[in-house]
């Protein structure tokens, strides 16, 4: 029998606008190296190393046994929406009704829904840089225009009201703000948000997406706030994205939630009906138990992240050529490697940029981190310290050794 010539599937050109995220690629590479027997320390992944608490798993199990294994309402089960409404009231002092809440497959889907539903071709989205890698591709995918605003270490990686004002044009659709921030760990405090809100009040055509996913991981007594806390007048043009992934160590359950004006929630739901038909029923049952259940462990875990932050910041700041500010939240540090650019490795390779530096760490000392270029501000790199103290100690010792070997 002759071979049948099957033509390869041609990909649509819009696929060229997006890439797999740098952190996912780095984590994938670290897993492959581990499978090959390499003693790799992955500091590239954006998830807590803690397990999901037992009472949440039990609630999911019970829900499945009760038969809660069918599709829920596309925008989320009524019970979970009510738990989310209570959460916003209790923890944030914000009031929402059921038609202003949407449940998605992670906060990522909520953000994606909002971007797709609200961003037309050529619409601009202001992104304080460094930013979470996924945003930029979501915006590009729908034909929107990302407008990164460089916020370097000299301004604590935060956008100033003046920068925001200058970045706004008649085509600006969104400001996308993430606090506590991935990758820098900086937190916008209420007074800072108030100044940003004042700019937004002057530009009625600009809406806001607040990515509050790290809400519960703050340090040094810093208090989380979201923009509608400081300026309730922005409520009707704000989408809040949040979820259970980070606070409750539930990244794999894929449940997030959003609050937005009812009309926006309707459009986001329409999109979601097309793509996923909603979040998993069992995952939603787990999220109800999380939001309505005990909270002590959240503070305890944040304390543990704080101790690990102190360890990593201190060791990085004792490393030749590296320097790092002290983040107030999330579980990342974003050190500068500017003083190492132009140095030569023992193999004779010149470190030209943060990509080279991160590859050097991986190849010579088997420590996986993510290059700052992916987050929009170089030369930096991101370390996720959601790993055990022993692993962090060993990883930082290896980083110190690698940096000391550069000439």
Ligand X SMILES: Cc1ncc(COP(=O)(O)O)c(C=O)c1O
178 binds ligand X (CB under 6 A): yes
Number of residues that bind ligand X (CB under 6 A): 13
175 binds ligand X (CB under 6 A): no
Closest-by-Cβ residue to ligand X is 106
Chain centre to alpha carbon of residue 353: 24
211 binds ligand X (CB under 6 A): yes
- Selected from 144, 256, 329, 376, the binder of ligand X by CB under 6 A is 256
* Smallest distance, ligand X to C-beta of residue 403, A: 27
81 binds ligand X (CB under 6 A): no
- Selected from 182, 284, 345, 369, the binder of ligand X by CB under 6 A is 182
278 binds ligand X (CB under 6 A): no
In DSSP terms, 128 is beta-bridged to 149
Nearest CA to 172 among 206, 136, 215? Answer: 206
Q: Given the complex with ligand X, which of 47 and 317 has the nearer CB atom?
A: 47
* Binding region for ligand X (CB under 6 A) out of 32-40, 106-114, 140-148, 311-319: 106-114
The DSSP element (H or E) to which 101 belongs, if any, is strand 101-104
How many helices (H) and strands (E) the chain has is answered by: 13, 12
* Smallest distance, ligand X to C-beta of residue 202, A: 27
- Selected from 88, 96, 112, 132, the binder of ligand X by CB under 6 A is 132
Q: Given the complex with ligand X, which of 132 and 305 has the nearer CB atom?
A: 132
106 binds ligand X (CB under 6 A): yes
248 binds ligand X (CB under 6 A): no
The DSSP element (H or E) to which 305 belongs, if any, is helix 296-317
Q: Given the complex with ligand X, which of 113 and 245 has the nearer CB atom?
A: 245
212 binds ligand X (CB under 6 A): no
* Binding region for ligand X (CB under 6 A) out of 48-56, 104-112, 142-150, 387-395: 104-112
Site for ligand X in 27-46 (CB under 6 A): 46
Point out which residues bind ligand X (CB under 6 A). Answer: 46, 106-108, 132, 178, 182, 211, 213, 243, 245, 251, 256
């Amino acid at each position: 029998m002759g071979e049948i010539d099957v033509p390869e599937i041609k990909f649509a050109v819009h696929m060229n606008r997006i890439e797999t995220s740098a952190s996912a690629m780095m984590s994938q590479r670290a897993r492959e190296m581990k499978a090959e027997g390499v003693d790799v320390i992955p500091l590239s992944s954006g998830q807590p190393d803690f397990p999901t608490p037992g009472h949440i798993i039990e609630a999911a199990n019970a829900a499945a046994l009760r038969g809660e294994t069918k599709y829920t309402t596309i925008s989320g089960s009524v019970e979970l929406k009510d738990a989310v409404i209570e959460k916003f009231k209790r923890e944030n002092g914000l009031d929402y009704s059921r038609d202003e809440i949407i449940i998605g497959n992670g906060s990522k889907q909520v953000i994606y829904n909002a971007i797709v539903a609200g961003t037309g071709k050529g619409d601009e989205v202001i992104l304080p840089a460094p930013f979470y890698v996924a945003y930029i591709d979501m915006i590009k995918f729908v034909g929107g225009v990302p407008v990164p605003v460089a916020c370097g270490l000299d301004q604590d990686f935060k956008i100033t009201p003046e920068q925001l004002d200058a970045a706004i044009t008649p085509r600006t659709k969104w400001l996308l703000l993430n606090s506590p921030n991935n990758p820098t760990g900086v937190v916008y405090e209420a007074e800072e948000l108030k100044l940003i809100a004042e700019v937004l009040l002057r530009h009625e055509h600009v809406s806001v997406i607040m990515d509050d996913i790290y809400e519960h991981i703050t340090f040094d007594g810093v208090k989380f706030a979201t923009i509608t806390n400081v300026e309730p007048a922005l409520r009707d043009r704000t989408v809040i994205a949040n979820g259970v992934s980070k606070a409750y160590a539930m990244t794999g359950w894929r449940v997030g939630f959003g609050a937005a004006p009812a009309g926006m929630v309707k459009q986001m739901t329409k999109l979601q009906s097309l793509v996923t038909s909603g979040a998993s029923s069992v995952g939603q049952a787990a999220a109800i138990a999380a939001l309505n259940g005990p909270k002590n462990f959240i503070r305890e875990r944040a304390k543990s992240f704080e101790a690990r932050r102190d360890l990593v910041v201190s060791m990085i700041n004792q490393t030749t050529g590296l320097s790092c500010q002290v983040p107030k939240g999330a579980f990342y540090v974003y050190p500068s490697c500017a003083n190492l650019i132009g140095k030569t490795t023992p193999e004779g390779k010149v470190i030209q940029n943060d990509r080279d530096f991160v590859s050097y760490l991986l190849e010579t000392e088997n420590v996986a981190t993510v290059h700052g270029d992916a987050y929009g501000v170089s030369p930096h790199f991101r370390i996720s310290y959601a790993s055990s103290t022993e692993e962090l100690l060993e990883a930082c010792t290896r980083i110190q050794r690698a940096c000391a070997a550069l000439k």
